[in-house]
Structure 1
Amino acid sequence: MDDHGWLDTPQSIITREGKEVDSSSERWHLPYSIWKSTSLDFNKIINLKIRWSVKSYVRDRLERSSVHAGYSVFQHVYTEFLRYAADFDIQHGKQFKEQLISLIESRISVTRKEHRLWALYRPIQWYIYCAENYPELGFCPAYAMELEGMSIPGNPKGEAVRMEDPDKGPLHHSLELPLLIAAMKNDTSKELKHLQEKVAVALSIAFGRNPANLTYLREEDFIDLTPEAEERCYILKIPRIKKKQLSPRDDFLDEYLAPLYANYIIELIDKNAAINTELQFNNRVIPNPKPLFINQNGNRAALLSSDFENAYNVTSADITGLLKSFVARHNLISPVTKSLLQVNTRRLRYTLATGLAAEGISKKELARILDHTDTQHVLVYFEMAGKVVEHLDKAAAKGLSRYLQFFKGKVIDSDDEAVNGERADKHISYIDEENPTDQENIGVCGESSICHLDPPYSCYLCPKFQPYRHAGHEHVLECLLQNREKRLEKYENARLGIQLDEVIAAVAQVTELCAEGNNNG
């Protein structure tokens, strides 16, 4: 018992995950490495009775639920209730019960007007817990029953997806996503941070995981299944979060990796080899498994709480920072907003999900890919599937071409400048599929062997293509734009629309290059 007759808080607490928390002072350092700061400062709570009750509930959540739950309870109770306590002059005496209820009623009224009543779920659970366990302190069981009967909506999900917010919703599949992918493919830097950026972008595009999943990745999670084979097969074992296991690394989802993305990880692991992740603590050396994303400065939350196995993990904010610094380094300007592309893991998750829904994936399979336990959370993506492919006109296509640079070939003035210019079988014509008599000689194929692409659509995306400067590429662009919607209706595949947009952007780029050449000439 302390001086007030309340039970003393123990000197240490063992969390449900089996981690020890030093609770002997007014500041508790929680072992939660995905966030930069997970210290709880109970000195912020002035009223000692309330402070003790919050400690009790946080301890309950740490022991019975998770570190995340304990941290969230403290933050929400303080942010939504207790930081306003001074306005209600809550004292220890007889007025305590009424003053605290007045505070809560005020906050309910405010959050209801702001349409964010969901934010009070955890603070209300704290009051109900206290009323059930410590009514003698002034927590009212009758009022707790009233709170328990309240209908509190869940955290709104999918609003950014539904609203198609240009800064928060999915990336535009034709105008923004290709910009990000092209920058990733063209990035040849071997600096550690730049390699981390590229891997973070690749994994977020490919799998749409939360940043916390990526923070727990280790080098050992990357596996080459066919080290002796010519065609390699790679998997990445991705730790699962929010699944009630004691540790995210208690359960994994095995995901197959495209060879290109696997090579990015191989480059990062090679760079990591020079970094020592052994930890010096109390005159002993603690070997640590290497995270895939190494925090060379050490993870502050892990170190303060002696959570040594995560001592070199990056945080969720670090993952988001890698995505943003990649965009800034490449100066990726969104054709939609005309400003720097806004990227985070959530937007890339939305982008992956809406794209797959538009392609016709099943709800069950999309839930598996996003690691949801049921299909209710993926319904919003199917609501938006029909809006993934949007209208594209000539002006938009030409504006798009300046950003994406899909055309990699060489514009020529005559066959004399072209590789294979003397070979009639390498001359390429465009035939309008709606009007087969409408034909246009557009250039020369520079590939010496047999080409397995699909001319003329694939030609504009091929680095071996040599378009004529004075050919009718404007006409090709007009035909493609006119036929785009018809092709989408014919094949009923939104993915085809996205691929067509890449061709359209490349043709538009050629028209711009030809126009520049004519003006200069």
Structure 2
Amino acid sequence: MQPNVILSNERLATATFKFSDAEIVYDPYPVSQSGQQLDLTQGKCRLNPERLLLNFDLIPPILREHVKAWVAFACKKYANVTVLNQFNLLKTFVLTGNLNSEVDIRVQIDEQTRDYMESDNPCVGKSVLRTIYGWYVEEGFPFFDEDFFDFYLDTLRFGSDEGKGKDVIMEMANRGPLTTREQRLFREAMSEIDPEELSIIELQGMVALKLGQVLGARDIQVIKLKFADLGINDDKTPYINLPRAKQRGHRNNNQRKKRVITKALFELIESLRSRYSTQLNRPVEAAHFILCNMTTKRGGMPVNLRLRPPTFFLRRRAIQVRLALDFTVTNRRLRKTFCTQLIAKGTPLKVVAELMDHTDLQQLEVYYRHTHHVAKKLDEVLNSAASDVLDAFQGKMISPEKVSQSGQQIFAPTKDQLLHQIGSCGSKTPCRLNPPLSCYGCKSLEAFDDADHKAVVEHFVEETKQTFGEGHAIEILKHEDFLAATQFLRMLERGEI
């Protein structure tokens, strides 16, 4: 049963139905949040720049104008990916059998809505469906029952999806912030890769992960970046204009925030630009996407088209294979790690919100609760996540008279604030470490067997806790220098050295 659709001179679409006096009126040419003017008079519509397809022919004819009206409303308020997800939810409705009255249609819609609400579906989907149903009721659209919404849908309480937010406050494999061990292995694996040996697709994946590591950027923020966003300040520090994301309204989502980046990240992006230029045999324009599509012909040529989420996943997966890690690294995990570290260092909430591109401070509270959970004793942390830092003490235990290099004594303070000689350096080259704490992880250390090494390390730990607070010091105490020193003490107490 097809509705009767009329397009007026005012560019409004009006749909009327055989079994109902109510009608649907909507703008068939809305402007989406990305600034694209849609044409909803056609059977299909593609949302740009993501090129997401809305195929209205998949919607039952009796509900097709309902869905188009919702798209006309939602595209101005939500991101294109969100609109597609809402469309996919609505296309699950199927109307069958004899539809001889408005009641027949309404009953089928309500039954399928109730089945969805009472099935084991995600809470987010249930909330979205209730919102759409409520909007249809509010607009007076046919076939949607006000009583069904008021006395059933509006009384439901969904809570949140299982595990949602828990990956921040407890360790969940491959979901939450990177653990101490994972952070170290990830840094080491990334540093061992030569970008010149990577394919363009692998290099794109590496750039994506570095942006997540340095800036805590979301997937969509990385995807939106162009070479025009890259620059150098007057003081020679590189920066990038990071697009905002998940902001309501077209104007807000087109804003960018200037963020300082590392020189290494700047050079990595420039190397990607150089690879594009070599492939194209011409300079790459500023408007070119940093992460772009590649053709399947002629050996893979860069095409200035924005990546879609599935393609972005393949880029990240390509570099993941090269990293050869036994855990998953995603921009989402790197973003959580970035935020957790900011808060663990005592960064004010407003500053964290600014860096994380959050307008709602309440969303960050879970990370602050996380700080309380990780404020454990140092030995508990060392015995679990960081126990593999050192398998054995690499230096030597000697008596003071057996030093190999004279005049290279190492001194350290204890709680009495006096300097004590803890050993000597056996290296003949200039030191690049941060003595005395970092000496415990150095193979050149000649530790004196009569020194109170335990008092020295305990003093450094207590000093750190007093300076940064019990909760925020935990991230600093995970540093390899502290880990190596504590490992040294454990081996000393067990008589292994």
TM-score (norm 1): 0.72
Alpha-carbon deviations, 1:306-360, whole Å to 9, x = none? Answer: xxxx95222344444444443432222xxxxxxx222222222211112111111
1:182-237: CA deviation from partner (whole Å, max 9, x where unpaired): 322332231233433332222212221210001010111111113xx6xx211110
Distance 1:348 1:488, change over 3 A: same
8 Å Cα contact 1:13-1:20 kept in structure 2? yes
- Relative contact order higher in (CA < 8 Å, ≥ 6 apart): 1
Residue 425 (structure 1) aligned with residue 407 (structure 2): yes
Q: Per the alignment, do residues 294 and 364 of structure 1 end up closer, same or farther by CA in structure 2, a change over 3 Å counting?
A: same
Whether 1:466 aligns to 2:444 is yes
Instruction: Tell me if 1:498 matches 2:484.
Output: no
Q: Which residue pairs with 1:93 in the alignment?
A: 100
Q: Are the structure 2 counterparts of residues 5 and 322 from structure 1 closer, same or farther at C-alpha, using a change threshold of 3 Å?
A: closer
Structure 2 partner of 1:312: 305
Alignment match, 1:164 = 171
Q: Report the equivalent of 2:23.
A: none
Deviations 1:482-510 (A, max 9, x none): 66764453333456543443114445899
- Among 215, 231, 249, which residue is 1:223 paired with? 231
8 A contact 2:238–2:260 mirrored in 1? yes
Distance 1:392 1:188 in 2: 36
**Equivalents in 1 of 2:128, 2:207: separation in Å?**
36
User: What secondary structure is seen at the aligned counterpart in 2 of 1:273?
Assistant: helix
AA aligned to 1:331 is A
Contact 1:222/1:235, CA 8 A, preserved across alignment: yes
Distance in structure 1 (CA, Å) of the matches to 2:450 and 2:107: 77
Alpha carbons 1:90, 1:96 under 8 Å: kept: no
Contact 2:288 2:304 in 1 (8 A): no
Cα distance change, pair 183–432 in 1 and its aligned pair in 2 (3 A) = farther
Q: Is the Cα contact below 8 Å between 1:13 and 1:21 reproduced in 2?
A: yes
Aligned residue in 1 for 2:31: 15
Aligned positions of 1:300-449 closer than 5 A:
311-332=304-325, 340-388=326-374, 390=376, 391-392=378-379, 396=384, 399-401=387-389, 423-428=405-410, 440-441=422-423, 443-448=425-430
| CA deviation vs aligned residue, 1:147-186 (integer Å, no higher than 9, x gap) | 67435557666232133323212112x3222222232233
Residues 236-269 of structure 1: CA deviation (Å, up to 9, x unaligned) = 1001122234267731011111333333333333
1:12-64 alpha-carbon deviations (Å, 9 max, x no partner)? 7443344244556544322142xxx722233443x321234223322332356
Match runs of 1:38-77 below 5 Å: 38-45=52-59, 47-62=60-75, 67-77=80-90
Task: Give SS of 1:139's match.
Answer: coil
1:128 maps to what in 2? 134
Corresponding position of 1:304 = none
Give CA-to-partner distance per residue, 1:127-166, whole Å, 9 cap, x none: 334445565x433233344467435557666232133323
1:197 aligns with 2:184: no
CA distance in 2, matches of 1:129, 1:155: 22
Partner Cα separation in structure 1 for residue 341 and residue 77 of structure 2: 39
Unaligned runs of 5+ in 1: 279-285, 299-309, 333-339, 415-420
- Letter of the aligned partner of 2:113 in structure 1? I
Partner of 2:299: none
- Mapping of 1:30-45 within 5 angstroms? 30-33=47-50, 38-45=52-59
Closer/same/farther in 2, CA of residues 314 and 392 from structure 1, 3 Å limit: farther
Compared CA separation, residues 197 and 57, structure 1 to 2 (3 A) = closer
> What is the SS of the residue equivalent to 2:181?
coil
Corresponding residue of 2:46: 29
Q: Which amino acid aligns with 2:109?
A: L
Aligned to 2:111: 102
TM-score by length of 2: 0.75
Paired AA for residue 110 in structure 1: S
Q: Assess, with a 3 A threshold, how the Cα gap between structure 1 residues 134 and 225 changes in structure 2: closer, same or farther.
A: same
- Secondary structure of 1:176 counterpart: helix
- Give the secondary structure class of the aligned counterpart of 2:195: coil
| Whole-angstrom distance in 1 between the partners of 2:450 and 2:208 | 38
Deviation at 1:445, TM superposition (A): 4.0
